[in-house]
Structure 1
Amino acid sequence: MPTSIFVNLPVGDLDRSRGFFAALGYGFAPEFADENSLCVVISDSIFVMLLLEPYFASFTNKPTADAASVAEVILTVSVDSRDEVDRLADTALESGGTSSSAQDMGIMYSRSIQDPDGHIWEFMWMDPGHAEEPDERD
């Protein structure tokens, strides 16, 4: 079994979150969902567990960050083209996301948005023609 990552994020409204991520074209894994959680499938090995805030809080003794007022993490998703970066960011803004910002470094292009709960998402494309050469020691 390949290594997978499950990112857990607190949310206020599962239906609102489902609508937002469905608009971006992501699917869901019903086997990991219940009345307190929703599992967004980003890829074959990347999943985002959206947990209602009280349920999320039950997994830790630390205070839960309010992503609307503090940055707790930036979640970056790579895509295949600059156009896909723009499509996803524009769709996110049309679907309840806010605060778009772009960075164009020539070989890398990205746009950041905040989802309806304030979590920062970045869609990023990197020109494959500018990949670093492998270290000569390899």
Structure 2
Amino acid sequence: MRLTCKGKSVEVRLHCIDAPEYEQIPWGKQSRHHLRKITPRKVELKTIEIDQFGRTLGEVYTTEPSRRFLNLEQVVGGHAAVYEHYCSDPAFTRAQRKARKAGLGIWSKPGAQQTPWVFRHR
């Protein structure tokens, strides 16, 4: 995700999740479309760390009164998998379990789209 913070473009990796690669058709495009659809013009970024490639690893929240956690919403809708090795928040594993059971997004049929990290290492 790219955000503009104080006039500067910032590449943000969403903490706890791994979305399908854009080349993982159609899941990558669907994931990107969903994130764009749920992201308002103004968001709050909570930086977790800067990774080895200079990207910001963070949590993205909406600023409206009914504040939403966009990282988690991607998992709830089946548009991303939980990166369990890097995520200890049980809300993510619960959300993924529900999305899988409901057959949402990447869980709608079996395949490599469910584990983007495997797809990348092919």
Same fold (TM over 0.5): no
Structure possessing the higher relative contact order (Cα contacts under 8 Å, 6 or more residues apart) = 2
Q: TM-score, normalization: structure 2? A: 0.31
- Larger CA Rg, structure 1 vs 2: 1
Decide which structure has greater strand share.
Answer: 1
